[in-house]
Amino acid sequence: MTHLYDNNLNFLVSLNYEYEDFIKEPSKFYPEWQFSFYATQNKYSNPIISDGVLREKTREELILIDNKVELLQDGEYIEQGKIIVVPAPETLLKKVWDKTAHVWGEGATVKELKEYYFNKINTYKAEILEVGFNFNGHQQKCREKDLALLGNAIAANEDAQVYSKTPVSHWSFNDHDVIEMSLEDLKHLRIAGATFVQAIFTVEAQLKASEANILLEKQDFIKKVDELSTVKCFKSSI
């Protein structure tokens, strides 16, 4: 196909001829042909001459030349013949562009911001408890079943004192880290766990009482726990 445009770049007609054949003798295929006309292999909806070549206008040209401001995207406006781009702040949950003031605003309600922020805190809390704390270089998780097993181990050792003066248990910190623990060791582990859990709940309360911060990261939560507690988060898995 060959597509013809007049000297004002108005589309004339599409002809079912090969472009290479047409340009050799245009008048043979289109008697009304003039030297000021244009023939192209591609059909253009919004043609423009650039460096002597007919091509499609870019989005920027349509906006600035043809004044098609409806093509402007959120975060864009025209100033002194140029398209100005305003990056959206990361601190906004629902980014809303004010086309008049040329600024970004928060589209989320206070309730939506609070829910998003609280969900982040709750997720981080659960993940940190899952990973647990550092006990003398060992990883002790703080899931409900871990705390229950620890309580059972202590109770069993206390019962065993009736039969043995120094009862011991083989405590499994994880599948590859089993340590022989005395009753006192297990009690120290339980105290460390209680201290760690209390620190996490304290940090959770502090965060939820502060202004909603949608950029809160898990490392921020971990840092606050470590600053508050003598029992530190286990780091290698977090």
pLDDT tens track for 48-90:
999 888 999 999 999 999 999 999 999 999 999 999 999 999 9
From 206, 202, 209, 164, select the one nearest 182 (Cα to Cα).
164
pLDDT above 70 as % of the chain: 94
**3-state SS, one letter per residue, for 29-96:** HCCCCCCCCEEECCCCCCEEEECCEEEECCHHHHHHCCCCHHHCCCCEEEECCEEEECCCCCCCCCEE
What is the arithmetic mean of pLDDT over 96-114? 97
What is the arithmetic mean of pLDDT over 200-224? 97
From 219, 8, 27, select the one nearest 124 (Cα to Cα).
219
Res. 44 pLDDT band, cuts 50 70 90: very high
Between 140 and 175, where is the model more confident? 140
Q: What is the pLDDT of residue 54?
A: 94
pTM: 0.74
pLDDT above 90 as % of the chain: 76
∠ CA 216-138-203 to the nearest 5 degrees?
Answer: 25
pLDDT tens-digit profile of 123-166? 999 999 999 999 999 999 887 777 777 777 777 776 666 666 66
Q: Is 104 helix (H, G, I), strand (E, B) or coil?
A: strand
> Alpha helix (H) ranges present in the chain?
19-24, 26-29, 59-64, 110-131, 144-160, 183-209, 218-228
| Number of residues that this document lists for the chain | 238
Give the Å distances, CA to CA, from 161 to 89, 155, 157, 183, 233: 63, 10, 6, 9, 33
Q: How many CB atoms lie within 10 A of CB 13?
A: 10
